[in-house]
Amino acid sequence: MVSARDELQAAVSGHPGSQLLLGQERLVRAVSFPGWLESWVLLVQGAQTSLEVLRDAWVWRARPPWASSSQHWNMWSICEFLLVTLLSLVLINYMKMQWSARPLPPGPSPLPLIGNLWTLKFSLHPDILNQIAKRYGTTFTIWMGQTPIVVLHGLQAVKDALVSLSEEMSGRPVAGYAKALARGRGIAVTNGHIWRQQRRFGLSTLRNLGLGKRGLESRIQEESRCLVESFASNNGKPMDCNYVITHAVANVISAVVFGHRFSSDDVTFQKLVEGNDYLFVSLGSKWGRLYDAFPWLMNRVPGPHQKAFGKKEYLEDFVRNELKYHQENVNPEEPNDVIDYYLAQITKTKDEPDTTFDYDNLVQVVIDLFIAGTETTTTTLQWALLFMLVHPEIQEKVQNELDAVLETSPVYEDRKRLPYTNAVFHEIQRYANVSGAGVPRSNIKDITLNGFHVKKGTIILPDLGSVLHDPKYWETPNQFNPNHFLDKDGNFMSNEAFLPFSAGHRVCLGEQLAQIEMFIFLTTLLKTFSFRLPEGVTEVNTNYILAITLKPHPFKICAVPR
């Protein structure tokens, strides 16, 4: 007797280009339309056979005495129709995904509706992306729901796109969650004319406020002294450094956007920092990924993602209150912060028909700068102190260099006289890889990536983590090793694969501010304290928490005055 499996294999083998591999639970087939038809027939016939068995058993055993046999047969016909219709819709959806994926780079086969979300565990985990790259190469495609994303893995693939095709790769895909939160305003998730105007304003304003000059640097030094006082007040006892670091970093960006700092016991500011952190974490959460994949559905169901909209409203109200204060009390002829400069820009361009400078964009620009300027810098500094705990010999070597070279408070220019400290500073950023896979781009024109034609508007993810851990450019990519940035004579040495802030037209707007801030904070702390584990603690968790940034697990630290 010939089995159904044999009949199916015999039927399919007659079609060139079609290959059916029958496994225990799934059917894998090389793409061709006849094969799709056969798959559909298989599914339908299998469903019908199963239903017939169930139907006959149910009719024989469960039919009530008052019900006619025809009524039951009609009910089962409806069930068959609905099931076949459902399977057909799923199959059609899957066919559409496969059809649209034909010109894209290869990648793991997506499931109907959810794509590769299950394979990815609903997040862009670096280890999973590395596994996919080992199988499919440096350019591959993953599916978030029904949306394909082309991933670039390793320095060469990322550099070919972001540097060689900088203009073509200047787009930002606006995912459902970020789009709903930002509402098409600001710098971070906008495109085209509005993005160019807002980003140009941001760059010029940061320069006017003294980015790279001693004016802004003096504010950072002032905040570093406050940070030292916060650590010192704990008298060397175990403490969670997260809050004091977050407060210090947030106060630097507050000075930039609001023109002043906040005290540590300001409840309003504490709520601002809390809301900022919640938004950032929410964007990288599984709920955020689900919202990106199914925005219509997630907008209507409860969950932690809904709380983020309330936090966003609080941030907007906070900024509008600051805006009102500036309008009533600040001399527009003497701008002192981002809000002052933006208000002047609104007045200057009010008669221009294509202006994008208005109060709504002002609020979102301030929020963008605050979010971007707080979370990544705070997280990097937390990793820095954690690495000093794990590597006390490196901490001691940095302190010896600081003692030998510096006689006054550190400034950013001192890095040129501190080769080992500078190497450690760069290695912290490389090894921590706080941005994870990075922020996706989109191409504003048709392009070719690694031989694959990529249509305009495709979401492209330059995997920055794979660049910072590319074994072709780092001797020990998975170890904390400051020698990555030192030559044989102990001089600081740059590395082209050091791209923690990305590259191209969408490079991080606040890169220089973040570098100055982190360097001054870290060197000031290491010059003042020795950081140790609490008594009785011999190990610390160096694994990361996967969110929109890679955060360290909470840890206790003792800041012992030197």
Annotated binding site for heme: 508
Of 495, 470, 471, the closest CA to residue 482 belongs to 495
Burial (CB count within 10 angstroms: exposed 0-12, middle 13-18, buried 19+), residue 157? buried
Helix, strand, coil % (nearest 5) of the chain?
A: 55, 10, 35
Distance, in Å, from the CA atom of 311 to the CA atom of 315, rounded to the nearest integer, reads 6
Burial string for 503-529 (b: 16+ CB within 10 Å, else e) reads bbbbebbbebbbbbbbbbbbbbbbbbb
Cβ-based neighbour number of residue 560 at 10 Å? 13
Cβ-based neighbour number of residue 354 at 10 Å? 8
| Ramachandran quadrant class, 549 (left: phi over 0; alpha: psi -120 to 50; beta: rest) | beta
**Residues placed in the known binding site:** 508
Joined together, the tokens standing for residue 302 give 């409860």
Of 432, 428, 426, 431, the closest CA to residue 492 belongs to 426
| φ/ψ (deg, to 5) at 411 | -125, 165
> What's the one-letter identity of residue 360?
D
Distance (Å) of CA 54 to CA 49, 50, 57, 218: 9, 6, 5, 79
